[in-house]
């Protein structure tokens, strides 16, 4: 479904990602892990079209999307949930969700209602809060909202950037349970997280990023027991 070859990208003259490559097959949850500042979010911004490549290519469902705009990628079914939640604070929960349907607006109001009902099924709390201003929600509720807003466009591939950031362990567990359920229902997921051990526990394969370079990749269970992963996250060499 997704294939990245020799990705080089960054900000201004500075290269952050150097020669990164990966692939994701339909129906997978793939983890991209690494310490804070490793370049994980930069990779996500490049995949979603918010950051141009300096070199390399991105293919999605067999099509080269390297030069495709961000909104065109959404229309193709590739949708990102950005880091830091980024709700439209002055708007209600319902208005935020409706904005998520913008790329599918030509499918009509009946389909909009079906997508809303689906979002409320996934996150019942949002149905209770649909008339409430998004900025007044708790951190966990806002994370539910931004995931549900992305689901409104009926994506084929969901990109999630640090969904557990700033959340309690209980809410984090709930969010990850929802991701597993969405995946069981056929949604492919690319998950970028600093919470490596939780992320690898729900993914099939993973990529470890360090200083803009991919240093390890493979089966998630094998990565969980790899001493290099412990070294990156514990700050010391595993004995």
Q: Of the candidates 128, 154, 180, which is a domain's last residue? A: 154
The reply to whether 138 and 169 lie within a common domain is no
CA distance readout (Å), 227 to 234, 235, 237, 238: 10, 11, 7, 5
Specify the pLDDT at position 37: 87
Domain identity same for 65 and 19:
yes
Q: Are 36 and 61 in contact (CB under 8 A)?
A: no
Residues 48 and 110 in one domain: no
Tell me the pLDDT tens digit for each residue of 97-119: 999 999 889 999 999 999 999 99
* One domain, residues 22 and 113: no
239 domain residue, yes or no: no
Q: What is the CATH number of the domain that holds 43?
A: 3.40.50.300
Judged against a pLDDT cut of 80, whether residue 129 lies above it is answered with yes
Looking at the structure, do residues 145 and 181 belong to the same domain, yes or no? no
Last residue of a domain, one of 154, 187, 218: 154
Residues 27 and 48 in one domain: yes
Residue 90 pLDDT > 90, yes or no? yes
Domain assignment of residue 173, given as a range: 1-77+156-234
Q: How far apart are CA 56 and CA 207, in angstroms?
A: 18
Q: How many domains does the chain have?
A: 2
Is 51 domain-assigned? yes
Give domain status of residue 36, yes or no: yes
- Establish if 41 belongs to a structural domain: yes
Establish how many alpha carbons lie within 13 A of residue 130's alpha carbon, considering only the half-sphere containing its beta carbon: 13
Whether 215 maps to a domain, the answer reads yes
97 occurs within a structural domain: yes
User: Over the stretch 130-157, which tens digit does the pLDDT of each residue have?
Assistant: 999 999 999 999 999 999 999 999 999 9
Q: Tell me: do 85 and 192 sit in the same domain.
A: no
Q: Which of 38-42, 58-62, 164-168, 170-174 is predicted most confidently?
A: 58-62
What pLDDT is stored for residue 36 in this prediction?
Answer: 85
- The pLDDT, as a whole number, for residue 234 is 58
Among 154, 186, 218, the domain boundary falls at: 154
What are the pLDDT digits (tens) for 202-231? 999 999 999 999 999 999 999 998 988 888
Q: Is the model more confident about 18 or about 233?
A: 18
pLDDT at residue 95 in the model = 98
Whether residue 235 has pLDDT greater than 70: no
Residues 53 and 84 in one domain: no
Are residues 214 and 184 part of one domain?
yes
**Is a pLDDT exceeding 70 seen at residue 239?**
no
Q: Which residue has the tokens 């495709």?
A: 68
pTM: 0.92
pLDDT band for position 196 (cuts 50, 70, 90)? confident
Is residue 160 included in any domain, yes or no?
Answer: yes
């Amino acid at each position: 479904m997704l294939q990245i070859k020799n990705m080089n990208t960054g900000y201004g003259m500075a290269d952050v990602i150097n020669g990164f490559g990966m692939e994701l097959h339909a129906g997978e949850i793939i983890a991209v892990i690494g310490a804070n500042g490793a370049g994980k979010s930069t990779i996500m911004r490049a995949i979603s079209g918010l950051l141009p490549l300096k070199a390399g290519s991105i293919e999605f469902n067999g099509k080269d999307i390297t030069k495709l705009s961000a909104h065109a990628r959404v229309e193709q079914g590739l949708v990102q949930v950005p880091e830091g939640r980024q709700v439209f604070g002055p708007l209600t929960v319902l208005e935020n969700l409706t904005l998520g349907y913008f790329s599918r607006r030509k499918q009509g109001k009946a389909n909009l209602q079906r997508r809303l009902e689906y979002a409320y099924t996934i996150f019942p709390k949002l149905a209770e809060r649909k008339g409430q201003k998004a900025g007044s929600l708790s951190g966990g509720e806002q994370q539910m909202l931004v995931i549900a807003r992305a689901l409104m466009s009926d994506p084929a591939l969901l990109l999630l950037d640090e969904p557990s950031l700033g959340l309690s362990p209980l809410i984090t567990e709930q969010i990850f349970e929802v991701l597993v359920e969405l995946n069981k229902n056929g949604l492919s997921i690319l998950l970028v997280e600093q919470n490596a051990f939780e992320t690898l526990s729900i993914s099939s394969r993973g990529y470890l990023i360090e200083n803009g370079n991919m240093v390890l990749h493979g089966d998630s269970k094998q990565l969980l027991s790899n001493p290099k992963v412990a070294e990156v996250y514990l700050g010391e060499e595993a004995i």
